């Protein structure tokens, strides 16, 4: 069985780190036939919307994306990714303080409703001292915490390749 891992966390067109960690994980698993990465940033819409030169986009409030045709499909699309996945790497780092992580919290709620799916949390600090990571809704859903996305990827690879279920 191929493991489908959904890469959830903040997405911000003004901070390349929100895209880079997902690329790193995809690269880590590229030669692993038993894994499929579900990356919501690996599509033409997101690739054409990025602005990584350190400047704000044309709309200083960055609300243009919410006016994009079809944006109402994002919730059912993301929900379908949760349902299709075996589990998730959930990056709880908030790289862009001006961009909420509402979508990530919805995705965690959907994973909570599907406890057979694993959730590996990623946070650069101590999750027990963070207001978001330590919140019961997050803490009850995340199965294990890692310091960074590569540690999470290595844990997934080792765990599933050993056949431990």
Tokens of 149: 């996305």
pLDDT for 115-148, tens place per residue?
999 999 999 999 999 999 999 999 999 999 999 9
pLDDT for 81-96, tens place per residue?
999 999 999 999 999 9
Q: What are phi and psi of 40, to 5 degrees?
A: -70, -10
Q: How far is CA 29 from CA 34, 52, 110, 153, in A?
A: 9, 25, 25, 8
Average the pLDDT over each of 4-18, 63-77, 99-113, 119-133 and give the range with the smallest value. 63-77
* DSSP-derived 3-state class of residue 62: coil
Looking at residue 43, what is its pLDDT?
72
Asked if 54 and 85 touch (Cβ cutoff 8 Å), the reply is no
Looking at residue 51, what is its pLDDT?
55
Quote the domain boundaries for residue 138.
Answer: 3-161
Looking at residue 58, what is its pLDDT?
46
Mean pLDDT calculated for residue range 62-77: 72
pLDDT for 28-59, tens place per residue?
999 999 999 999 988 766 656 555 443 444 44
**14 pLDDT band (50/70/90 cuts)?**
confident
Mean of pLDDT over the chain: 88
Tokens of 157: 């690879």
Query: How many distinct structural domains can be found in the chain?
Result: 1
pTM for this entry:
0.87
Q: Report which of 147, 90, 162, 152 is spatially closest to residue 119, judged by C-alpha positions.
A: 90
pLDDT, greater one: 115 or 100: 115
- CA 138, CA 108: separation in Å to the nearest integer? 7
Classify the phi-psi angles of 70: left when phi > 0, otherwise alpha if psi is within -120 to 50, otherwise beta.
left
pLDDT exceeds 80 at position 15: yes
Looking at residue 63, what is its pLDDT?
60
Chain centroid to CA 43: 15
The CATH number for 20's domain is 3.40.50.450
């Amino acid at each position: 069985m191929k493991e489908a891992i959904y890469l959830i966390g903040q997405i911000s067109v003004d901070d390349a780190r929100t895209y880079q960690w997902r690329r790193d994980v995809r690269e880590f698993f590229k030669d692993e036939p038993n894994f499929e990465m579900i990356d919501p940033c690996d599509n033409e819409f997101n690739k054409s919307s990025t602005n990584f030169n350190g400047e704000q986009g044309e709309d200083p409030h960055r609300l243009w994306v919410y006016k994009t045709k079809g944006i109402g499909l994002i919730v059912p699309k993301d929900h379908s990714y949760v349902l299709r996945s075996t589990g998730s790497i959930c990056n709880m780092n908030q790289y862009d303080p001006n961009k909420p992580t509402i979508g990530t919290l919805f995705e965690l709620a959907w994973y909570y409703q599907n406890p057979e799916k694993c959730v590996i949390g990623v946070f650069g600090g101590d999750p027990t001292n963070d207001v978001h990571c330590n919140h019961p809704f997050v803490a009850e859903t995340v199965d294990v915490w890692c310091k960074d996305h590569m540690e999470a990827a290595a844990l997934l690879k080792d765990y599933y390749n050993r056949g431990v279920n």
